[in-house]
Amino acid sequence: MTDTNHDGGADMATLDEGRAADEIADLSARIAQANEEYHTLDAPVLSDAEYDALKLRLLALERAFPQLARPDSPTQAVGAAPAEGFGKVVHAQRMMSLENGFSAEDVTDFVARVRSFLGLRDTPAFTAEPKIDGLSLSLRYENGVLVQAATRGDGAVGENVTANARTIADIPHRLTGDVPALLEVRGEVYMTHSDFQRLNAAEGGRVFANPRNAAAGSLRQIDPAVTASRPLRFFAYGWGQLSEPLADTQIGAVQRLGALGFQTNPLTRLCHDADGMIATWAAIEQQRATLGYDIDGVVYKVNDLSYQTRLGYRSTTPRWALAHKFPAETAWTRLDRIDIQVGRTGALSPIARLEPVTVGGVVVSNATLHNEDYIAGRDSTGAPIREGRDIREGDWVKVYRAGDVIPKIADVDLSRRPQGSQPYAFPETCPQCGSDAIREPGDSVRRCTGGMACPAQAVEKLKHFVSRAAFDIEGLGAKQIEMFFADPVLPIREPADIFTLAQRDTRNLARLKNREGFGARSAEKLFAAIEDKRRIPLARLIFALGIRHVGEVAAGILARHFGTWDALIAAIDAAAREPAHAADDKTRRTVLADSPHWSELTAINGIGSVLVQSLVTTLTQEAERASIDRLITQIEAIPAAARQAEETAVSGKTLVFTGTLERMTRAEAKARAEAMGAKVAGSVSAKTDLLIAGPGAGSKAAKAAALGVTVIDEDEWLRIAGSA
Ligand code: IVH
């Protein structure tokens, strides 16, 4: 590597802007040339290592001099990973979603919950502002300079769209005035109706279904020049990481964002009670048609930021905000056919194929039918829905859309039912593999019993395994999984096969690098990306297995509880050897006594018996377990460290609250204790570590004293909880 140490490669600290600009121009040209050579010649001039070194140097310069980064920089362009498109950004603070409300009652409930959580006698103030129907974006400013823009992604990890965001006129490159050292601004990218119509006309007709899709499609362009040509706008409504608070109130913080140079929504109002919030919602809905951009509801936020901090977050939504949605839009259309999809857990999901129809600006041609009961016109208890009207192929149905979710079917018009139509016969065998499809008692879903032998389940499981929150292997997405699954020479049929791919490729005559769509560099890149994930955090591994009921949150809890894969699997095997477990509450109590391992699992905060049942059944199922064992020999699970937040005075301890708390409600005390890693129990036992007793504490305090449990008062508790 002679030439990779670039001539102009001076140390960042001593580099001035002029020389940096020269070096950036030079590097950009050399990388662009290398890209071209790579794509047009069979023998690239630069080695991969030399190429990477140039790119890393350019990235470092662009980070040090963000104002010099050009929208057409090769660091932002295709070369990197065509299939995946953008680099990834781990959000410094998760991007949350919002709890939805649909009625005035949902609003009064929300206000009541906030009040009771905080223990307030009076209703606190709330802001009300339109919920913009676009896509959220997080903008990171360091010393007032825009250094990074990222999409929401899954909330934890988004896509790096910095170059594209820089082309949006509403997004300042530099902030002026009293600028915090670090500021992450969050808001919504959207497109106005008139810009959307002009864009679609210019592109020769119906290109995008609606302004939201147009905004998303435009922001996620590989070429920033294309984004620059699209009329995108941005409203700021929130923030992520900050070096100092923006204000004491939500409304004050939004005003600060305005003063810093952002557009904020002019319809934002301060409300003093639920009636005021509902009136503002109605007023905003009145203006909906004339605003010139799409909104799908009103967002209420607790105004006092110290209250927001106390209220905190559930797993994906803040307790201090509510999205009050406008009613769903509906349309009638013909249901042509019912298809059955087989998911990763074997669930047979009926999909309605519809005559395309526009519902609230979006063309809809598929809708979910949930399950066979829903089609037959009854709910899971057998009670009639739609007054018992069933849904058949050929029927006229009422479709509705609420938010981003898959459209649903609300009703059916019997007067237009074709003569001679037959009730839909839900399949009792898997349409993909022919295995029996059965319904467990109490389950509304019929499932294929083929397990790993069912190709549909196996493919869906693999797709889940490589998905973003799981193994997240660059260059191995859903499309590639389908390709490798069907590959006769270099197949991937189960997760372990991914990690033997490179080895099998070497033994092969038909090497991957010689295939259509691959080359030496992309094949090597894929193998390197796989190698990179051979060591994986335990939580991701658990989530990746795709076990029913085990989502990201539960996987994290299990990983932190057991620390290692071996400990987890030992606990599950031990539980499996215990007497049969009834899921129902009454019988469980008697079973628990002779099932200590089972009860260790169900006692974990956030892990219920249904989840434990699913874990135990799946991991002790022979073929499934053999496949997982093969995977485990290929990888190394990084032991989970207990979360930092849990290393508190009460982490791992069991707390009981009793008596009256005067400065914090029970709900808040419980949420605070749990956030600090403690478990909160309802009654005192030998397992209790700490009793917090307010005035009026009775039998619990006496019992604690008898058991020798430490008892503290509220002041002491507040000192521990850090708010005395
Ligand atoms: S606040 C922690 N305010 O709605 C709360 N979100 O359904 C973060 N959205 O992902 C969101 N307008 O993309 C907030 N005025 C508004 C909004 C808004 C639109 C979007 C946002 C969020 C989604 C949640």
Distances (CA, A) of 530 to 227, 288, 526, 540: 32, 49, 6, 15
Residue nearest to atom 15 of ligand 1 (CA): 131
For residue 448, give the H/E element and its range.
strand 447-448
**Residue among 94, 152, 188 to mutate when testing ligand 1 (max atoms within 8 A of CB):** 188
Give me the amino acid identity at 650.
V
* Two tokens, residue 527: 């193998």
The model's pLDDT over 164-219, given as tens digits with 9 standing for 90+, comes to 999 999 999 999 888 999 999 999 999 999 999 888 888 765 567 778 888 998 99
Question: Residue range 524-550: average pLDDT?
Answer: 95
Q: Quick count: other Cβ atoms within 10 Å of Cβ 147?
A: 16
Residues with a catalytic annotation lie at: 131
Ligand 1: residue whose CA is nearest its atom 2: 96
Query: Which residue puts its alpha carbon closest to atom 17 of ligand 1?
Result: 131
Nearest atom in ligand 1 to 100's CA: 7
Per-residue pLDDT reduced to its tens digit, 637-681: 998 875 554 477 888 889 999 988 888 888 888 888 888 888 899
User: 563: alpha, beta or left, given left = phi > 0 and alpha = psi -120 to 50?
Assistant: left
Task: Kindly write down the DSSP assignment for every residue of 93-154, as one continuous string.
Answer: SPPP---EE-SHHHHHHHHHHHHHHHT-SSPPPEEEEEEESSEEEEEEEETTEEEEEEE-TT
Backbone phi, then psi, for 139, in 5-degree steps?
A: -115, 125
Question: What number does the ligand 1 atom closest to the CA of 265 have?
Answer: 15
- Around ligand 1, the residues with Cβ closer than 6 Å are 96-98, 129, 131-132, 136, 152, 188, 237-238, 299, 318, 321, 323
CATH of domain 654-721: 3.40.50.10190
Could you write out the DSSP letters of every residue in 167-195? T-TTS-SB--SS--SEEEEEEEEE--HHH
From CA 407, how far away is CA 565, in angstroms rounded? Answer: 39
| CA-nearest residue, atom 18 of ligand 1 | 131
pLDDT of residue 4: 35
Residue 81 predicted with pLDDT over 50: no
Query: Tens of pLDDT along 396-424?
Result: 999 997 655 678 999 999 999 999 999 99
CA 265 to ligand 1 centroid distance, Å:
13
Alpha helices (runs of H) in 518-639, residue ranges in sequence order: 520-532, 538-544, 552-562, 565-576, 585-592, 596-602, 609-620, 622-634
One of 3.30.420.40, 2.40.50.140, 3.40.30.10, 2.60.40.420 is the CATH number of 12-77+328-416, namely 2.40.50.140
Residues contacting 270, CB < 8 A, separation 6+: 125, 126, 127, 128, 251, 303
> Ligand 1 centroid to 129 CA: how many Å?
10
Please give the pLDDT value at position 78. 34
Residue 336 has pLDDT above 90, yes or no: yes
Work out the widest C-alpha separation in the chain, in whole angstroms. 83
Residues 300-321 have pLDDT tens digits of 999 999 999 999 998 889 999 9
Confidence of residue 593 (pLDDT cuts 50, 70, 90): low
User: In angstroms, what is the span from residue 600 Cα to ligand 1's centroid?
Assistant: 39
Q: Give the domain ranges of the chain.
A: 12-77+328-416, 88-325, 537-638, 654-721
15 versus 44: which is more confidently predicted?
15
Which ligand 1 atom is nearest residue 238's CA?
1
Calculate Rg over the CA atoms of the chain: 29
Q: Is the pTM of this model over 0.85?
A: no
In eight-state DSSP terms, residue 305 is H
Residue environment code for 307-329, b if the CB has 16+ CB neighbours within 10 A, otherwise e: bbebbeeeeeebbbbbbbbbebe
Alpha carbons 289 and 182: distance in angstroms, whole number: 38
**Best residue for ligand 1 mutational test, from 93, 94, 98, 405 (most atoms within 8 Å of Cβ):** 98
Per cent of the chain over pLDDT 70 is 89
Closest to 641 (Cα-Cα) out of 536, 532, 538:
538
Say which CATH topology domain 537-638 has.
DNA polymerase; domain 1 (1.10.150)
The whole-angstrom separation of Cα 543 and Cα 698 is 44
Per-residue pLDDT at 589: 41
**Angstrom distance (rounded) from CA 392 to CA 624:** 37
Helices and strands: H and E segment counts in the chain:
26, 24
Q: For tokens 């500021």, name the residue.
A: 183
pLDDT, tens digit (0-9, with 9 covering 90-100), for 540-582: 999 999 999 999 889 999 999 999 999 999 999 999 998 765 4
* Distance (Å) from CA 136 to ligand 1 centroid: 7
Atom of ligand 1 nearest to the CA of 129: 15
Which pLDDT score is estimated for 8?
A: 39
Q: Which CATH number fits domain 88-325: 3.30.60.50, 3.30.70.141, 3.30.470.30, 3.30.70.340?
A: 3.30.470.30
